[in-house]
C-alpha cells in the first residue's frame, strides 16, 4: 500500500472523530446519548482495527444498536424528528469509522510485519513469505490441539512459462498484481496470504474445512484466470494454474511436512530476479 493511500485513510478516521464531536455539541440537550455516541465511535473503530472487515461489520451493528437505545430511550427535551436526524448522522459516522478501521487492519498488518521482521515478508508483493507461513501453520496447529479449530491451505502454482517471454519489469508487475490485487483482494480479513516462490501463492484459511476451502479456491482461481485473460495470456491448458488444497487434521502429515519445508527455505537475494 502506498503512503498516500494510508494517509487518506488516516485522515478519514480523524474527520469522523471530529464530526462526531460536532454532532455531540449540536444535541447538548441530550447529554446521555451524546456521551454514549462518542464512546461507541471508539467501539466501531477498535472492532475494525483489531478484527478486520468482519469485525468492522459486527462492531458497526453493535454500536448502532446500542446507540439506538440511548438515542430514543434517553432523548431528553429534543423532539423525535431531531432524534432521528442525530441517529442517522451517528450511523453514518459508525459505518465510516468501522469501515476505515477494517481496511487499516487488512492493509497495515503486512506493513508492520515488514518493518518488524524483514525476513518474514516477500519483498515484491508484501505478502508473507514461506518462512512466516511456516510459523503461521505451526500456530494454527497449536490452536487445533487446544481448541479443535481446524484450518485449510490452498496453493496456487501459476506456470512461469506464461511470463518467461516478458521483460523483468513486466514479470515483476504481474507477480505483484497477482499477490496484492487478485489474491489478497479476494480473501477474508482473517485469511493469511503468502508468496512462496516464483509464481506460487498459498492462502491459509482459519476455521475452514476442505469444502469451504474448495469454494474459496474456486473463486480465487477464477479471479486469477480473469486477470491473466485480460493480459492476453493463454489459460486453456489445465497445467497453467495448479491448485492444491490441504485440510488440518485431515491431511495432518502433508501439512506438517509442508511447514518443515517452508521453514527451511531461505529468502531470495533481493539483487536477483524475482521470477
The tens digit of pLDDT for each residue in 168-223 reads: 899 899 999 999 889 988 998 889 999 998 899 999 999 999 999 999 999 999 99
CATH of domain 118-263: 3.30.70.270
Q: Is the pTM of this model over 0.75?
A: no
Q: What is the pLDDT of residue 185?
A: 87
**Pick from 160, 275, 259, 138: nearest CA to 202:** 259
> What is residue 70's predicted lDDT score, i.e. its pLDDT?
84
Q: Are the beta carbons of 70 and 36 closer than 8 angstroms? A: yes
C-alpha–C-alpha distance, residues 150 and 248, integer Å: 6
Query: In the sheet where 200-206 sits, what is the strand order?
Result: 192-197, 200-206, 151-158, 241-248
Separation of CA 115 from chain center: 18
Cis ω for the linkage preceding 249 (within 30 of 0): yes
**Which residues, given as ranges, of the chain have pLDDT below 70?**
1-11, 14-15, 17-31, 75-76, 107, 109-118, 266-275
Domain residue ranges in the chain: 3-116, 118-263
The closest of 127, 125, 130, 122 to 110, measured between CA atoms, is 127
What is the model's pLDDT at position 118?
57
| Calpha distance 219→159 (Å, rounded) | 19
- What pLDDT shows up at residue 226? 93
Structural contact between residues 264 and 258, judged by C-beta atoms closer than 8 angstroms: no
Report which secondary-structure segment, H or E, holds 151.
Answer: strand 151-158
Amino acid at each position: 500500500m502506498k503512503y498516500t493511500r494510508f494517509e487518506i485513510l488516516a485522515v478519514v478516521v480523524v474527520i469522523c472523530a471530529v464530526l462526531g464531536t460536532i454532532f455531540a455539541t449540536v444535541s447538548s440537550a441530550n447529554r446521555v446519548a451524546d456521551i454514549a455516541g462518542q464512546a461507541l465511535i471508539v467501539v466501531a473503530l477498535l472492532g475494525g482495527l483489531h478484527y478486520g472487515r468482519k469485525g468492522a461489520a459486527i462492531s458497526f451493528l453493535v454500536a448502532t444498536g446500542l446507540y439506538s437505545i440511548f438515542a430514543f430511550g434517553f432523548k431528553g427535551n429534543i423532539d423525535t424528528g431531531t432524534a432521528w436526524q442525530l441517529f442517522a448522522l451517528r450511523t453514518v459516522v459508525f459505518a465510516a469509522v468501522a469501515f476505515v478501521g477494517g481496511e487499516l487492519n487488512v492493509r497495515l498488518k503486512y506493513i508492520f510485519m515488514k518493518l518488524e521482521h524483514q525476513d518474514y515478508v516477500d519483498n515484491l508483493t508484501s505478502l508473507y513469505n514461506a518462512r512466516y507461513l511456516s510459523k503461521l501453520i505451526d500456530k494454527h496447529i497449536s490452536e487445533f490441539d487446544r481448541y479443535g479449530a481446524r484450518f485449510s491451505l490452498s496453493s496456487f502454482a501459476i506456470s512461469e512459462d506464461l511470463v518467461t517471454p516478458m521483460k523483468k519489469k513486466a514479470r515483476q508487475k504481474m507477480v505483484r498484481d497477482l499477490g496484492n490485487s487478485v489474491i489478497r483482494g479476494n480473501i477474508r480479513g482473517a485469511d493469511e496470504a503468502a508468496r512462496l516462490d516464483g509464481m506460487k501463492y498459498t492462502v491459509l484459511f482459519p476455521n475452514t474445512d476442505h469444502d469451504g476451502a474448495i469454494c474459496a479456491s474456486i473463486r480465487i482461481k477464477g479471479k486469477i484466470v480473469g486477470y491473466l485473460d485480460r493480459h492476453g495470456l493463454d489459460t486453456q491448458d489445465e497445467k497453467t494454474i495448479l491448485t492444491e488444497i490441504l485440510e488440518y487434521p485431515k491431511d495432518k502429515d502433508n501439512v506438517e511436512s509442508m511447514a518443515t519445508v517452508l521453514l527451511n527455505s531461505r529468502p531470495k537475494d533481493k539483487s536477483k530476479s524475482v521470477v
